[in-house]
Chain A
Amino acid sequence: MIEVLEQGGHGVPDLTDRPLPQVDNVSSTYWSGAAQGALLFQQCPACGHRQFYPRAMCTACAADTEWKQALGRGTVHTFTVIRQNMASPWDRLLPYVVAIVELEEGPRMMSNITHCDVDDVRVDMPVECYAVAVEDGLAIPFWRPVQSERTERGRSA
Chain B
Amino acid sequence: MGDRTPVIAGIGLSDHPIAPELDAMQHHVLAMQRALADSGIEKSEIDGYMSTGGGRGTESGVAMAEYLGIDHRWVDSTMTGGSSFEFYVQHATAAIREGYCDTVLITYGSDFLSQQGRSLGTSGFQQPGERVAGALQYEAPYGNVLVGAYAMAARRHMHEFGTTSEQLAEIAVAVRKHAQLNPNARYRDPLTIDDVVSSRMIADPLHMYDCCSITDGGGAVIVTTAERAEDLRTPPVYVLGAAGAQTHWNISQMGDFTTTAAATSGPEAFAQAGVRPEDIDTVQLYDSFTITVLLMLEDLGFCAKGDGGAFVEDGALALGGKLPLNTDGGGLSACHPGMRGIFLLIEASRQLRGEAGDAQVPDAELALACGSGGWLSCIGTVVLGKEHP
B204 touches A81 (CB 8 A): yes
Chain B nearest CB, measured from A24 CB (Å): 7
Stretch at the interface among A3-11, A12-20, A63-71, A146-154: A12-20
The contact string, 1 if C-beta is below 8 Å from chain B, for chain A 31-62, is 00000000000000000000011000000000
Q: Is B356 an interface residue (CB 8 A)?
A: no
Of A22, A80, A110, which one neighbours B139 at CB under 8 angstroms?
Answer: A110
Chain B: interface residue count, which band? 35 or more
Given contacts A27-B137, A84-B122, A112-B142, contact A78 B152 (CB under 8 A): yes
Stretch at the interface among B46-54, B125-133, B357-365: B125-133
Report the Cα distance A83→B207, complex, angstroms.
Answer: 10
B141 touches A20 (CB 8 A): yes
Of A53, A79, A85, A123, which one neighbours B135 at CB under 8 angstroms?
Answer: A53
Chain A nearest CB, measured from B302 CB (Å): 24
Of B129, B135, B156, B203, which one neighbours A83 at CB under 8 angstroms?
Answer: B203
**A-B interface contact total, Cβ < 8 Å:** 133
Report the Cα distance A82→B137, complex, angstroms.
Answer: 19
Report the Cα distance A111→B145, complex, angstroms.
Answer: 13
Chain A: interface residue count, which band? 35 or more
Q: Is B143 an interface residue (CB 8 A)?
A: yes
Chain A nearest CB, measured from B282 CB (Å): 32
Report the Cα distance A32→B132, complex, angstroms.
Answer: 16
Residue of B nearest to A98 (CB): B144
List residues of B whose CB falls within 8 A of some A CB: 119, 122-124, 126-135, 137-145, 147-148, 151-153, 155-156, 159, 200-206, 251-253, 257
CB interface residues, A 102-130, toward B, < 8 Å: 108-112, 123-124
A123 touches B204 (CB 8 A): no
Report the Cα distance A108→B152, complex, angstroms.
Answer: 13
A110 touches B122 (CB 8 A): no
B145: A residues at CB distance < 8 A: 82, 84-85, 90
Report the Cα distance A112→B132, complex, angstroms.
Answer: 17
Report the Cα distance A98→B152, complex, angstroms.
Answer: 9
Report the Cα distance A87→B206, complex, angstroms.
Answer: 19
A19 touches B127 (CB 8 A): yes
Q: Is A133 an interface residue (CB 8 A)?
A: no
A157: B residues at CB distance < 8 A: 142-143
Given contacts A18-B143, A22-B132, A109-B252, contact A78 B155 (CB under 8 A): yes
